[in-house]
Amino acid sequence: MDALIVEPSPTYQRILSRMLESYDFKLTFVDSAIAGLRQLKLQRFQIICVAMYLPDLTGIEFCRLVRQQNAKVPIFIVTSETEPTLLSSALTAGATDIIRKDDLPRLEESLHALIPLGPFRYNISGKALYLEDSLTVAKATDAKLKRLGLQMDHAFSIAQAMQLLGDNKYELIMTDIVLQDNETGIDFIRDLRADSRFAQTPILAVTSLESINRRIQALQSGANDYISKPVLDEELFARINNLISSTRLIEQLTRERQRLLELATKDHLTGLYNRHFLTELAKRRFADANRQQTALSVLVIDIDHFKQINDQHGHQVGDKVLKRIAAMLQTLCGAEDQYVARFGGEEFVVLLTGYDLQRASELAGQLCQSLHQLQPEGIATSASIGVATLAAGQEEYFDEVFARADKALYLAKQQGRNRAIAL
């Protein structure tokens, strides 16, 4: 599509070119009415933008001359002029619309009416929050975001924005940079990034074209992207689409990573850590304890006569019993310095960092009691526990201490089960 721009001001030539290029227009610039009319004889244009005051004619006269040849081509007069009679005579002369230079987004709205939304279709839904102190700008942006499939909440101040953020989930946060009452969008972005709840929410800063420093500051403060005013619809849509899609991709990857991590580290039946994870962790914790000369204890817990539970109640009930016992162990040994794992079958291991033999034995005694009282699935159960400790200041490694705890467990079984023995 071709657009003719009849505009003597290089600044407005630039602004219009940014706007129209985002709609894939090929642009031809001329700076006088005569040059524009000459160009129209050479080529067909799908739209014309003309300034009100040209070196040779007015935009209105230009419009009238064009209409003598071409009744259809949309002609937009772009002007700072607000005088009503001048504007109405422009419309009488055949102008499609008058666009005020301080309201260029209107041109985009008119373009949308003429041209369907560009080559891209966006698959966006949800809500955006926009911190903007001008109601007019916020309303115009709201209309744009609706076309994209996003609902918009508007806040005038950082406090209002924070309140909305507390009550809603947003796919995107947009913020103007210069706000009222000495507030800035930069402060807002910093507040957001300091709050873990919004660490992943994409932030789009809306800056003025000239303020390169503010754009840099916005990015440094944690904005993911910026867009310059006057905001072009297609650019806004593309940036929002990129931000939201990449955030969704990151969320998906994070979930996937979490799932893989769970698969690699957790036991699938009980959700406790698995043998591999606990063994690796224990090796590191033992190295730390040896270096720092602190105590570290290991409990090996084995359910008594579990085979009988399976035989009498079936394997599925056996599984439920294991899950129930695991949940209880997690509750009783879920503190920061305690790690509980299912080592296999009906055997569990607890790593207790900083626990000397006495503390570990006390805890093992309590676990024995609690497991005996639990009656999972209404079945009387008990457990035997072997306890062993790396005493503070001694040098020993996981394999040795684990072997001692396993030996203690064997003794507990031998001595009648349902007891804890420390070695």
Q: Find the helix or strand (DSSP H, E) in which 6 lies.
A: strand 2-6
**Residue 117: HSE in the Cβ half-sphere, 13 Å Cα cutoff:** 14
Q: How far apart are CA 331 and CA 101, in angstroms?
A: 67
Name the minimum Å distance from CB 316 to ligand GTP: 7
Q: For residue 232, what is the DSSP state?
A: P
Name the minimum Å distance from CB 301 to ligand GTP: 11
Name the minimum Å distance from CB 376 to ligand GTP: 12
Name the minimum Å distance from CB 146 to ligand GTP: 54
Name the minimum Å distance from CB 270 to ligand GTP: 9
- E strands in 239-333: 296-303
Question: Which amino acid makes up residue 395?
Answer: E
Catalytic residue status for 262? no
CB 50 within 8 A of CB 36: yes
Q: Restricting to residues 196-225, which ones interact with ligand GTP according to CB under 6 A?
A: none
Closer residue to ligand GTP in complex, CB, 229/320:
320
Q: How far apart are CA 111 and CA 91, in angstroms?
A: 17
Please tell me whether residue 233 binds ligand GTP under the rule CB under 6 A.
no
Name the minimum Å distance from CB 369 to ligand GTP: 18
Q: Restricting to residues 380-419, which ones interact with ligand GTP according to CB under 6 A?
A: 413, 417
- Residues listed for the chain: 423
Closer residue to ligand GTP in complex, CB, 317/332:
317
- Judged by CB under 6 A, the stretch of 55-63, 109-117, 297-305, 353-361 that binds ligand GTP is 297-305
Q: How far apart are CA 60 and CA 265, in angstroms?
A: 75
In the numeric block, the tokens 């055949």 are attached to 94
Closer residue to ligand GTP in complex, CB, 19/349:
349
In this structure, what is the dihedral angle of CA atoms 229, 230, 232, 237, given to the nearest 10 degrees? 30
Binding-site size, ligand GTP (CB under 6 A): 16
Q: How far apart are CA 335 and CA 371, in angstroms?
A: 18
Cis previous bond, 55, omega within 30: no
3-state secondary structure of 183: coil
Closer residue to ligand GTP in complex, CB, 183/302:
302
Closer residue to ligand GTP in complex, CB, 49/299:
299
Please tell me whether residue 346 binds ligand GTP under the rule CB under 6 A.
yes
Q: Restricting to residues 83-112, which ones interact with ligand GTP according to CB under 6 A?
A: none
Distance of CA 412 to the CA centre of its chain: 52
Please tell me whether residue 183 binds ligand GTP under the rule CB under 6 A.
no
Closer residue to ligand GTP in complex, CB, 64/313:
313
Q: Restricting to residues 300-329, which ones interact with ligand GTP according to CB under 6 A?
A: 302-307, 310, 315, 318-319, 322
Q: How far apart are CA 297 and CA 420, in angstroms?
A: 14
Name the minimum Å distance from CB 345 to ligand GTP: 3
Among the options 235, 346, 396, 400, which is catalytic? Answer: 346
In the numeric block, the tokens 């689409």 are attached to 241
Closer residue to ligand GTP in complex, CB, 108/346:
346
Closer residue to ligand GTP in complex, CB, 117/317:
317
Q: How far apart are CA 201 and CA 224, in angstroms?
A: 9
CB 142 within 8 A of CB 165: no
CB 75 within 8 A of CB 94: yes
- Which residue lies nearest ligand GTP, judged by its C-beta? 318
Q: Restricting to residues 255-284, which ones interact with ligand GTP according to CB under 6 A?
A: 269
Q: Give the residue among 210, 205, 213, 135 at the shortest CA–CA distance from 176.
A: 205
Q: Which two tokens stand for residue 398?
A: 């996981």
Name the minimum Å distance from CB 265 to ligand GTP: 18
Contact footprint for ligand GTP (CB under 6 A): 269, 302-307, 310, 315, 318-319, 322, 345-346, 413, 417
Residues designated catalytic = 346
